[in-house]
Structure 1
């Protein structure tokens, strides 16, 4: 599919064409490893690699052209190359041009947790109504957002974009680039606390999403969150006229009426702006159902049909590392259930994961096992946040807990003795300990911050679960 002509790209980035100008781009990438035939490759210099070193590889893989900020070699003699002063600025200019030429209804999602899940649900829900473009993965920063905008086909009806931040002042420029018609904040929770003095600061940073929302746009807020009033006031101060909410609160515009767990997920009944709807989810967890309700409210505001959008959510599956459930055979016979939550972790997300695990019923002799790595970026209160989870885990009905990392040691010591499985310094050390402890019919949930590499444990359990042996707890 044609996305850009050479002339359009040159006009957007204000670059100098060094060779042929009669080419077209059917895709855009900043990763030479993912180049497809017809892609425009933009050479970005990152903290570890410089894309200029891979321009030749991009052309060998079939790139139609490349945007660079310095001479590169070796490349084909007549290869279309656009020279610019700053390739990141060029990427952002192309993103703005992609937004400017689009007549799509644009939705932007941010929040401390749940934004990727909500973005993926919106992709499904709105995609069932009409042509929809959405950012892939967690492309939510100063590279990912303009790249996602630049990839948006000109004729789609809906565009869905995830906006993220680690520091104050980052999200506002992204929102001004996206210029959403609908802006949703999932929730405000203690995430990235290492970069903020308080949760107030996080709320204010997330509220920067309203900077790109026109007065004719709609803000979607979590009515149950403690920061609802603060976000409401900020949205109103920015000039937003239409503000809707979701949650259990009696005055929420989208409310859950009932949540009924099933072996494969849940049946959910809700009321969306006064209209009742019942739908099926194939993913367990009441927090997932709440996400779905916020998505339905957002989709309806964007122009989607409620019943069509609700029916589409049955096909939703958690992305890799965010709650994927699979059954793993054991060498000695039998099997166990693995819940892969390894992508990231926060106090709120760990509590959700514990509740999901606690509501699952193991078959005969099985146990509910949590494997937890450190939750990073929690600032000076990191130890307290970890220690406090002991109560939530105990109340959820978890049978055994394995931990790795300096911070989880505080959690491990706070757990009742009969819940302590083992603690290790890192995931590599903990992986074989957990693997050797797994028994038939166990249900195992693995979660931790991305930097803890908890996927190491998931990979071992998925591919080579050991025969159970006695192990020492320490």
Structure 2
């Protein structure tokens, strides 16, 4: 595409020579010859300051929002008001040309695991693009769409948000054929004001879909009626852990030791026995969601079975790793919310060894923070856990809810030292807390690098 044509698509102003543009980069440090550099602007950076460096390293053009920061006035540029919006428009252009069947998903919990499950299933049916890591925001979603090519038969796009409007933006440029909502609860409530605010925000994934799109909803979520209403005349499929009124659900569930689960998957086109490698009963509904979504996209039951059963635990999400002294560490350090904390505790309780919960703070809970932490401690005590060790100010309340036998540590170093003192082949640690608590550092200090449990 010519730079002038791209400028017209973006509603921007072309400056300098008209050139052919192809590959796009947002990182001036990794520019390749012939790339077009898009200068993003954030709270702590301004990409316009790196345009000259990008040209020096081989960029053929740049998309900018502030030409006063560009020294080479003869450069080939597109001037736009907002480069983030421009990135979204470029991603939308690529999506419009793609023939891939696209599944978009969002939710308060489970979306990354469901994404990985769907990617694993669809890989058995054809070339599949999935969101990498946590690239699920208004920058990550467009960057993922930029990777779409003519070989892709499917794409699975995860969508997250910190405030209202972000999922709507992502869904608008993605235009998914299938939109999946896992659930909505009070996780990360600060940016939305209330649970109802979260429900509204998650529902933004529905609104931009075309009339022939399929909306896939969790019938066990109390907010499902709101989303059904929002879906209007679009096709709606429902999934559940055990509700037989759903289009897909599980029967004959077996929960074994060390978090192992198996079940019979019931779908509109047949049944299949599934044995998961990912841990925890809560992953049954995640698997059912992945199954009904991919089945609607064209996956057969054999691919669904192979995809679900071959998926290993996602790093830092209930991932058992080998630790010092022969101990086991269940690494769930990626993030934390009240529901995911209780699910993780259930997994811990399925281990026969001496069990120690290493708990950090849960962030972004707003006015619910103190009560939520206390209730986690109460829950741990109710299910029979004997050892709760905490770090972080809010986690003192988790200990209070648990009772006098809990132990609080003022620093991560003190906590790690205590863990080392008791680590042996008869001990299992569950390490969990919000991302900002850096609980992964505890795992790193206790684990044996490169070893699985």
TM-score, normalised by the number of residues in structure 1: 0.84
1:297 matched to 2:292? yes
Residue 179 (structure 1) shift: 1.4
Aligned residues: 446
Give the alignment partner of residue 358 of structure 2, picking from 352, 365, 371.
Answer: 371
Q: Who is 2:209 aligned against?
A: 213
Which shifted more, 318-327 or 219-228? 318-327
Residue 208 (structure 1) shift: 1.5
1:421 matched to 2:416? no
Cα distance in structure 1, aligned partners of 2:435 and 2:322? 23
Residue 144 (structure 1) shift: 1.5
Q: Who is 2:268 aligned against?
A: 273
1:399 matched to 2:382? no
Cα distance in structure 2, aligned partners of 1:428 and 1:338? 17
Cα distance in structure 2, aligned partners of 1:439 and 1:165? 41
Tell me, which stretches of 5 or more residues in structure 2 are unaligned? none
1:246-285 residue pairs with structure 2 within 5 A? Answer: 246-260=240-254, 261=256, 265-285=260-280
Cα distance in structure 1, aligned partners of 2:423 and 2:231? 49
Change in CA separation of 1:5 and 1:323 when aligned onto 2, cut-off 3 Å: farther
Residue 321 (structure 1) shift: 2.2
- SS state of the match for residue 99, structure 1? helix
1:192 matched to 2:177? no
Residue 15 (structure 1) shift: 5.4
| Partners of 1:409 and 1:423 within 8 A in 2 | no
Residue 209 (structure 1) shift: 1.3
Cα distance in structure 1, aligned partners of 2:409 and 2:65? 49
| Partners of 1:6 and 1:24 within 8 A in 2 | no
1:214-253 residue pairs with structure 2 within 5 A? Answer: 214-236=210-232, 239-253=233-247
Residue 352 (structure 1) shift: 0.9
Give the alignment partner of residue 113 of structure 1, picking from 109, 112, 121.
Answer: 109
Cα distance in structure 2, aligned partners of 1:228 and 1:314? 28
1:33-48 residue pairs with structure 2 within 5 A? Answer: 40-48=36-44
Cα distance in structure 2, aligned partners of 1:181 and 1:263? 37
RMSD between aligned alpha carbons?
2.9
Q: Who is 1:346 aligned against?
A: 337
Change in CA separation of 1:257 and 1:59 when aligned onto 2, cut-off 3 Å: farther
Cα distance in structure 2, aligned partners of 1:187 and 1:305? 25
1:35-184 residue pairs with structure 2 within 5 A? Answer: 40-55=36-51, 66-71=62-67, 82-184=78-180
- SS state of the match for residue 459, structure 1? helix
| Partners of 2:19 and 2:60 within 8 A in 1 | no
Cα distance in structure 1, aligned partners of 2:186 and 2:172? 25
| Partners of 2:62 and 2:77 within 8 A in 1 | yes
TM-score, normalised by the number of residues in structure 2: 0.88
Cα distance in structure 1, aligned partners of 2:38 and 2:25? 6
Cα distance in structure 1, aligned partners of 2:382 and 2:217? 29
| Partners of 1:97 and 1:150 within 8 A in 2 | no
| Partners of 1:95 and 1:149 within 8 A in 2 | yes
Change in CA separation of 1:23 and 1:170 when aligned onto 2, cut-off 3 Å: closer
Cα distance in structure 2, aligned partners of 1:265 and 1:184? 26
Q: Who is 1:358 aligned against?
A: 349
